[in-house]
Each structure stands twice: as structure tokens, then as C-alpha cells.
Structure 1
Amino acid sequence: MTVTESSLYRPDDLDRRIIAHLRIDGRASLSKLSDVLGVARGTVQNRLDRLMDTGILIGFTVRVRADLDEDSVSAITMIEVVGKSTDRVIRKLRGMPEIHTLHTTNGNWDLIAHIRTDSLGEFDRVLRDIRMIEGVSNSETSLLLSSV
């Protein structure tokens, strides 16, 4: 698939259903997905390949229950970007494994990053690294204390 083709591809209902099931169980086998979705195993494989090739699906991750991960540090960082450097900043942020999710937004902030680290020292390093990215002009961070 060429760059032009991949940028034009829009996921359909089946793609969205596959993604939804993978959000619940990222380890689901092709057979299980085909059974749940009522389509052939080969169809699921082809769809997953296309979602990966187009960059719509960028990987799989592990989610840990919050009570098993009590010592970790979790925060939301709002980031202001200077000029037209947003794409460059996003590429740098996506390369940081401590950034769990990254969102564009409107208002005073351009990006919002959900950060997870194993310690305050590591968290401090990640914040410094973010602030050192060329194009980042300002940031504000709020620690997430507990889920309610």
C-alpha cells in the first residue's frame, strides 16, 4: 500500500469492531476474533494487516490493574507547541515509552500526554525530556492521585 493509499484509507465498521475487541483483549487470537465478529479468520488477518500497514493500529500493549501498579506515577501533561512544529513534537513524544497516550486538543494547549513511570525520579526525567523537545514552549502537569 502506498503512502497516498494509506493516508486515504478510512476504517469501516468491521475495522472498528476489530479494534474495539482488541481494546478489551489485545491477546485475542485470530480464531477468537473471527468467531466473535462472524467473519472468516483470513478476513480478520487481512484487516489487521491493513490496519497495521496504514498506521491506524500502531501496536499492542499491556494494561495492568491500578491496584497492582500502586507505586507507579501517572500524570496528565498539557503541552503548548510553538509555530508549526506540532508534527515534529508529536514524533518525539511518540518515541517516549513513558507516554501512554497522546492527544491533540483545542484551547490554550496543543497536546495532552498521559505519562506513566515507575518512580518520581523517572517522572522528573520524563518532564525534563519533554520540556527539552524543540518546539515545546510551555507545559503544565497534574499528577493523577486516585481513580474514583
Structure 2
Amino acid sequence: MINLDDTDRQLIALLRDDARTSISELAKRLKVSRGTAQNRLTRLEKAGVITGYTIKLKPAAQPHRIRAWTTIAVEGTTAPAVIQALRGEPAVSALHSTNGRWDVVAEISADSLEAFDRVLGSIRQIKGIMNTETNILLSTHKV
């Protein structure tokens, strides 16, 4: 991993706000030359700091999609294997390690309650998972 300076962090913040911002606009906002902005972006990509670009959809764009957070307790030292298994589950959109009562938080989405039930059933069968608790997200107030 490379050391990030303030300009790198500002560049990443600008891209988080809008990954489609042009290099020229990034350079202008960072108060650096276009070449400097491009070189920094390329360096961050090659170092694996930036691994890709994506879109963010407002929840209202998919009004019938069911989304939830599932908190997961794992047995002993099985967290790496559990996380690897969860990474292979298409309905899991994000995974987070955490502390406290739960070891992992998974963000899950499905097109129907039946599909959601199947996903949860599949997750609960993963070797190393001791317990889960799921909270369905009813509304989103900030994206």
C-alpha cells in the first residue's frame, strides 16, 4: 500500500462524489496541472488503491428490491473462510468485519421475499456461521 497525501485523499474524495469527473475538472479542483492529476490517478490505480469505478443508484430507482443488513457471528477463527464463501454469494453487495457481538455485517438484496428467504437460508448453511440476525432496510435517508 502506498502512502496517501492530502492531494491523493482529495482526488479520491472527488471521485467518490462523481467518478465521471474529467481529468481536467479534477485538476482544476485540486489546483494542480492536468498531467499531475492524471499521474496521481494512474499511480492510485496501479497501486490498487482505486480498484474500479461504479454507479450508485438511489433506492427509489429499485423500489421493489428488498435490502437488508445481516449480522453474522462466526465460530472461532473461521471468519476468513466465511467471508470468502459470502463473497461468492451474488445477493451480497458488501461485507464488513466488525467488533462486538457480531463478526461480520453483510449487505444483502433480493427481488422478492421468497428470493430473500432463499439467500438467508443459503447463508445460514455456510460452515462456520454460528448465528445471524437480519434487519430489513425500510427507507434510506442519505446516499
- Which TM bucket (shorter chain)? 0.7 to 0.9
Quote how far apart the aligned CAs of 1:31 are. 2.2
3-state SS of the aligned residue for 2:20?
coil
Quote how far apart the aligned CAs of 1:97 are. 4.2
Quote how far apart the aligned CAs of 1:142 are. 0.5
Matching of residue 43 in structure 1 with residue 44 in structure 2: no
Identify the range of structure 1 (97-106 vs 75-84) with the bigger mean alpha-carbon deviation.
97-106
Give the corresponding residue for 1:144.
137
Relative distance call for 1:16 and 1:129 in structure 2 (3 A) is farther
Aligned pair count reads 141
Larger Rg: 2
Q: CA RMSD in A?
A: 2.3
Quote how far apart the aligned CAs of 1:110 are. 0.7
Which of 89, 98, 101 lines up with 2:94 in the alignment?
Answer: 101
Q: Runs of 5+ in structure 2 lacking a partner?
A: none
Matching of residue 29 in structure 1 with residue 22 in structure 2: yes
Summarize deviations over 1:55-111 as a string: whole Å, max 9, x none: 333322221122222111110110112222222333333344433332221111011
- TM-score normalised by structure 1 residue count: 0.77
- TM-score normalised by structure 2 residue count: 0.79
Matching of residue 68 in structure 1 with residue 61 in structure 2: yes
Give identity over the alignment, percent: 46
Matched ranges for 1:93-132 at <5 A: 93-132=86-125
Q: Runs of 5+ in structure 1 lacking a partner?
A: 1-5
Relative distance call for 1:71 and 1:28 in structure 2 (3 A) is same
In structure 2, C-alpha distance between the alignment counterparts of 1:48 and 1:97, rounded to whole Å? 30
